[in-house]
Structure 1
Amino acid sequence: MKGNRLIYGMILTLIILIFLSENSTKLKSGDIAFVGFNANNDSFEIITFINIPPKTSIHFTDSEWNGNRFGADENDLVWETGEEIISKGSIIKFTSLGSNPIVSSGTLKNTLRISKKEEAIFAYVGSTKMPTKFLAAMANDKLGYGTLLNTGLDNKSVLTFPKGTTYATYKGHHNYQNVNEYIVALNKISNYTFQ
């Protein structure tokens, strides 16, 4: 009887570990979107379009993508979402990223400095510099991306502000009935406040 409990316990532990390791890989392009950034104080915001499972890791980098890999000369930030589900429609704020990173839910590892020109930020799952799935991207100049080739990102999951933008935040409402309407609104530059 004790042997069976031990086996059942080991199987249950294995199932939990597999579930937790797969949380991040279930995310796909467009499950989150950027809704603003501030290069003056190294901050940005995202919105979630799905419930993000507990203990999910999402990477952010401002390295350029060359179609196959990221450059090694920029910053990498890892967001650990924490023990609770991040509910669909949540706005997550990332602040003071260049020196003392703070996130409104979960924890952060490393720092990320946002440049005032030719900057892009990619969100992805995988490991540092090794994406398995790109989720979204944002830039203040299309040159900041390097390229979007082989990212699987489209105009619904990429937000490019006018060249030289240092601050932009979404000013539209958040109570859309479906995700597609919301994405259309997020991609209208007229729905943003600039400084």
Structure 2
Amino acid sequence: MPAALALVATGASHAALTGAGDLIFTSYNGDEDGLAFVVLKDVAPNTVVYFRDDEWNGSAFNTGESATSWNSGASVIAAGTVVRFSSYDTNVRAASVGTLTGVINTNFGLANSDETVYAYLGSSVNAPTAFLSAIANASFGTPTSSGNTGVLTNTGLTAGLNALALNTAANAGSTSPDFGQYNGVRSGKADFAGYAAEIGNLANWTVGGNGDYATTVPNTTAFTVTPAVPEPASVAMLVAGLGAIGVLARRRAAR
């Protein structure tokens, strides 16, 4: 069924996620009814996240679909972790990290066409305060469009950065592909925020058309960072400073 899926973190969870791009989707699979995302900031213990299968129309979500809640678990989830949700349309739906629980048990599942998935923070499932990311297997709609895709209006999200329309990929093979996965770099950046542009670039994605991807498992390799190496001049200044401190310490000890 064409629908939209929303991801919500409650304000009471005190998660480090605060705004657009803190969480970005890395995989969508309408055949397996699964998805994956990377957190680009640490996630606090027992963060509660809601997934809601309704379209955003620019000011509110439609009704008639479903929602689940995800509890991140008792430990901090480190930035760079990729979380996979599988078998979303069944009672044995699972998360690779944390737990999934059905909240509104109507029409679970990810559609093969006209589907939009949102991620956002909110004080409740009906009160979003900051959208984090979105992914669609068709173009994002407009508030006046008659289609079943959700819109980006009033979300603060940017298409091609933290909002991904898979059908616009050069290798999509379909106007509404069943499957898409980020296959770009996952190491070598100086900070996690540096991966946002890589993920947002659909040239770094493998996007499938109308094939059978029911057994395709998404890549859950974690993203890592490589801190920048200090310039030689900076190292020299640091060494000189430490040397000066050592001289002063010896003089004081000799008094």
- Asked which structure has the greater CA Rg, the reply is 2
**How big is the shift at 1:51?**
0.6
Normalising to structure 1: TM-score of the pair? 0.82
**How big is the shift at 1:87?**
0.3
Name the SS of the counterpart of 1:132 in structure 2. strand
Q: Which amino acid aligns with 1:130?
A: A
Q: Which of 155, 160, 164 matches 1:159?
A: 164
Name the SS of the counterpart of 2:61 in structure 1. coil
Q: Which of 39, 46, 56 matches 2:37?
A: 46
8 A contact 1:57–1:125 mirrored in 2: no
Q: Which amino acid aligns with 1:55?
A: N
CA distance in 2, matches of 1:54, 1:65: 28
Q: In structure 2, list runs of 5 or more residues that go unmatched.
A: 1-10, 142-147, 168-174, 209-255
Correspondence for 2:203: 190
Q: Which amino acid aligns with 1:157?
A: N
The size of the alignment, in residue pairs, is 176
Normalising to structure 2: TM-score of the pair? 0.64
Correspondence for 1:63: 54
**How big is the shift at 1:101?**
1.2
8 A contact 1:63–1:75 mirrored in 2: yes
Name the SS of the counterpart of 2:27 in structure 1. strand
Alignment RMSD: 1.9
After superposition, residues 54-93 of structure 1 pair within 5 angstroms as 54-93=45-84
Correspondence for 2:89: 98
8 A contact 2:17–2:41 mirrored in 1: no
Correspondence for 1:149: 153
Percentage of matched positions with identical amino acids: 28
Q: Which amino acid aligns with 2:62?
A: G
| C-alpha distance after superposition, 1:98-122 (max 9, x if no partner) | 0021001111121741001000011
CA distance in 2, matches of 1:87, 1:125: 18
**How big is the shift at 1:132?**
2.3
Correspondence for 1:10: none
**How big is the shift at 1:37?**
0.9
Q: In structure 1, list runs of 5 or more residues that go unmatched.
A: 1-19
Q: Which amino acid aligns with 2:150?
A: G
CA distance in 2, matches of 1:38, 1:185: 20
| C-alpha distance after superposition, 1:62-98 (max 9, x if no partner) | 3111111100022222211111001000000010100
**How big is the shift at 1:42?**
0.6
Change (3 A) 1:50 1:25: closer
Q: Which of 114, 120, 127 matches 2:116?
A: 120
Where do 4+ consecutive residues of structure 1 move more than 6 Å?
none
8 A contact 1:45–1:93 mirrored in 2: yes
CA distance in 2, matches of 1:78, 1:24: 15
CA distance in 2, matches of 1:22, 1:39: 29
CA distance in 1, matches of 2:94, 2:69: 12
Q: Does 1:109 align with 2:109?
A: no
Q: Which amino acid aligns with 1:173?
A: V
